[in-house]
């Protein structure tokens, strides 16, 4: 197990290093230099380059870059808001994105679980059909389809909820983004819970528990659910990916000032510095989350632990 975790961490670190290297090279290759003002004399340019360490060999520059990234110094934005340090831009945006993401995951997981459990317990009833329909639609349709539908019918036509994000009304204005973002979670969790619970309900030890006289809620919660939900870690990875992608689109639709919309506008306005910093942040988030999921997976399911050892 220790060897497995160690190997995963090593690979993650290596990946991160490769990503940083690519990002650094991209920054080097980007057209233009920070000092292409014609009024500057060669002497001044030399002094500026010395000041910002640009006269150093590339390898030293790279190490400085890595060091700066590690302490959270991402440089300044050139286009979106001139000369603002990117860390300042991020400071207000990260909590917003995380808040909505967390809401979506929590809501999606709870609704998905309830739906999946009901579908499995009332197998072949209309609950079951509803669960199947929702999971097919939720997995298939991109989240912006839901977002646009909600925005038009609930936000614009019925005017029940604010159409655009408003920091003063966080709860009310985050309901629609949360719903749209959580559809995929609802669908995956519901589908997974249903399949897994059906399998467990059919197993021999459930028959044993039942014949021992355990009934009703205890039977379901203690014997069935507990075992059915262990492998739910397997769906975490696609969920994370979907949330990251989804947030970009959803934040644009509801004009939420989060990192997703910052990324979109940075890409659109060619603000390389911001794009590359955000690419770094997304990579770190993704790698850390994936690492956690993999390790959790190894700890929870002994079968995986064993096969990974055999690898």
Q: Alpha-carbon distance 259 to 262, whole Å?
A: 5
**Cα-to-chain-centroid distance, residue 134:** 22
Report 277-306 residues binding another protein (CB under 8 A).
Answer: 279, 282-283, 286-287, 290
Which residue stretch of 61-69, 76-84, 95-103, 269-277 sits at the interface with another protein (rule: CB under 8 A)? 269-277
Nearest to 147 by CA among 242, 250, 260: 250
The distance of closest approach from Cβ of residue 218 to another protein in the complex, given in angstroms and rounded to an integer, is 26
Which residue stretch of 94-102, 107-115, 164-172, 264-272 sits at the interface with another protein (rule: CB under 8 A)? 264-272
Alpha-helical (H) ranges within 122-151 are 126-140, 143-150
Q: Does 52 bind another protein (CB under 8 A)?
A: no
Distances (CA, A) of 237 to 95, 113, 232, 234: 22, 17, 10, 7
Among 9, 18, 58, 230, binds another protein (CB under 8 A): 18
Long-range contacts of residues 267-275, Cβ cutoff 8 Å, at least 24 apart: 269/79, 269/80, 270/79, 271/77, 271/78, 271/79, 271/80, 272/26, 272/27, 272/30, 272/78, 273/27, 273/74, 273/75, 273/76, 273/77, 273/78, 273/86, 274/77, 274/79, 274/80, 274/86, 274/89
Report 214-253 residues binding another protein (CB under 8 A).
Answer: 241, 244-245, 248-249, 252-253
Cβ closest to another protein, residue 142 vs residue 257: 142
The site string for another protein over 157-196 (x = CB under 8 A, - otherwise) reads --------------------------------------x-
The distance of closest approach from Cβ of residue 215 to another protein in the complex, given in angstroms and rounded to an integer, is 26
Q: List contacts with another protein (CB under 8 A).
A: 11-12, 14-15, 18-19, 22-23, 26, 29, 136-137, 139-142, 144-145, 148, 151-152, 156, 195, 198, 241, 244-245, 248-249, 252-253, 263-264, 267-268, 272, 275-276, 279, 282-283, 286-287, 290
């Amino acid at each position: 197990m220790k060897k497995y975790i160690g190997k995963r961490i090593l690979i993650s670190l290596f990946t991160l290093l490769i990503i940083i290297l690519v990002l650094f090279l991209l920054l080097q290759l980007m057209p233009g230099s920070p000092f292409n003002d014609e009024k500057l004399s060669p002497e001044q340019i030399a002094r500026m380059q010395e000041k910002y360490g640009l006269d150093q060999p590339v390898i030293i520059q790279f190490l400085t870059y890595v060091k700066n990234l590690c302490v959270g110094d991402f440089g300044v934005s050139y286009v979106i808001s001139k000369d603002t340090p990117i860390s300042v831009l991020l400071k207000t945006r990260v909590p917003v994105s995380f808040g909505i993401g967390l809401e979506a995951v929590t809501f999606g997981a709870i609704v998905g679980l309830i739906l999946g459990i009901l579908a499995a317990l009332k197998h072949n009833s209309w609950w079951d059909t509803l669960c199947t329909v929702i999971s097919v639609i939720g997995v298939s349709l991109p989240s912006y389809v839901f977002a646009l539908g909600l925005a038009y019918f609930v936000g614009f036509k019925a005017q029940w909820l604010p159409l655009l994000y408003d920091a003063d009304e966080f709860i009310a204005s985050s309901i629609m983004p949360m719903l749209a973002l959580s559809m995929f979670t609802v669908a995956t969790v519901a589908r997974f819970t249903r399949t897994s619970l059906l399998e467990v309900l059919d197993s021999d030890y459930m028959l044993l528990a039942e014949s021992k006289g355990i009934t009703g809620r205890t039977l379901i919660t203690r014997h069935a659910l507990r075992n059915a939900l262990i492998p739910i870690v397997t769906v975490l990875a696609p969920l994370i990916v979907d949330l990251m992608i989804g947030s970009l689109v959803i934040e644009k639709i509801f004009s939420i000032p989060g990192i997703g919309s910052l990324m979109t506008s940075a890409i659109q306005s060619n603000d390389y510095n911001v794009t590359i910093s955000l690419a770094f942040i997304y990579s770190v988030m993704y790698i850390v989350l994936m690492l956690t999921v993999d390790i959790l997976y190894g700890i929870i399911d002994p079968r995986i632990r064993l096969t990974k050892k055999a690898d």
